[in-house]
Each structure stands twice: as C-alpha cells, then as structure tokens.
Amino acid sequence: MKRMSYLFFLAIVLVMLPVALAQKVSTDFDKATTFAGYKTYAWAQGTPAKNPLFDQRITSGIDARLGAKGLTKASNPETADLLVAYHAATDVETQINTYNTGGWGYGYGWGWGGGGGMTTTNVQKIPVGQLVVDMADPKAKKFVWRGTASSTLSDKPEKVEKTINKALDKMFENYPPKAK
C-alpha cells in the first residue's frame, strides 16, 4: 500500500514539474501601428535588474535582437524612431505541497479510516523573475509594443543567463508584428 501511495505522489510531481518550471512569454502591440517605418531606436529609462551583470546581459540581448531585426541604435535619443525601456523585477513565491501516504479505509476511499497513514507538508521558496520590454514611438507619443516574460530563477548565474536569452528569443521571435 505504501509503495502505491509513493508512486502516486511521484507521478503527480512528475506531471506538475514542467508546469511549475515553464517560462511564460507574451507580446502585445498597437494594431494601428506600421512597424516597417521604424529604423532606429534608443534606450529610455526603465527599471534595471538589481544585478549589474544581468542588466548588461539584458540590454545587450535586446540590442542584439533588435539589430537582427534591422533596427539601428541611434546615438541621439531625440532622433530615434523608437524608445526602448526594460523593467526587471524579482520576487519569491511560496509553494506548499501536502500529500497523504495513508492506507485504505473502511469503504470511504483513499486515506480515510484504517489509521497508519502519514501526512507530509513541504514548503518551498521559489525565486521568480519578470522582464518587461516596452517600445514607444516618441513622435506619436504612444506605446507601440510590449513583451513580457516570467519564469522561475536559478541561483546559478549561467542558468539565469540562459533563461534571459530564451525569454528574449521568444519575445522577439515575431517582431515586427505582421500587419493584419
């Protein structure tokens, strides 16, 4: 009986693990904007990552992806077609998992009656991060594009760097948006 309850718990954990570790990336844009006219961009003030190395990785990652899309970084923000800013935030989420390894009861179902069972609760602190990239048209004085990404974060810098790059790849995959 105990072996079956452990296997049941293990199966649930394995099914839920990819969901818990999944990275969420989305984009939104002004449907009335024609992106073909944008050729240059400049950086605007955002909310940089607390770690200066991550700040450098994020800005250089965005620069590389915008350059690959044909945009050139303007030396003067006043002449740029787009202003780009990013906002980074980190937080800690608490995950509570409770499971019962009790036996079969007297006809009531799993874990009822019969005794001999054990309930275990695990509390986990999970670091999460969010990255938002905004683009605005300074001449039209409006925001035209936004990309957001959120994910759990590792305590290993090289894994965080991979997470940032994966998020930026997904974010800029369909930039510029196709006109409808």
- Give me the sign of the Cα torsion angle 48, 174, 29, 129: negative
For residue 87, what pLDDT band results from cuts at 50, 70 and 90?
Answer: very high
What mean pLDDT do residues 123-142 have?
93
Answer for the pair 23, 167: CB distance below 8 angstroms, yes or no: yes
What mean pLDDT do residues 105-109 have?
54
Going from the N-terminus, what domains does the chain have, and what CATH number goes with each?
23-99+120-172 (3.30.160.670)
Answer whether residue 53 shows pLDDT above 80.
Answer: yes
Between CA 177 and CA 100 the distance in angstroms is: 49
Between CA 165 and CA 162 the distance in angstroms is: 5
Answer for the pair 81, 41: CB distance below 8 angstroms, yes or no: yes
Per DSSP, the three-state class of 97 is strand
| Token code pair at residue 32 | 């009335």
Q: Is 158 exposed, middle or buried (0-12, 13-18, 19+ CB in 10 A)?
A: exposed
- The model's pTM is 0.73
Answer whether residue 86 shows pLDDT above 90.
Answer: yes
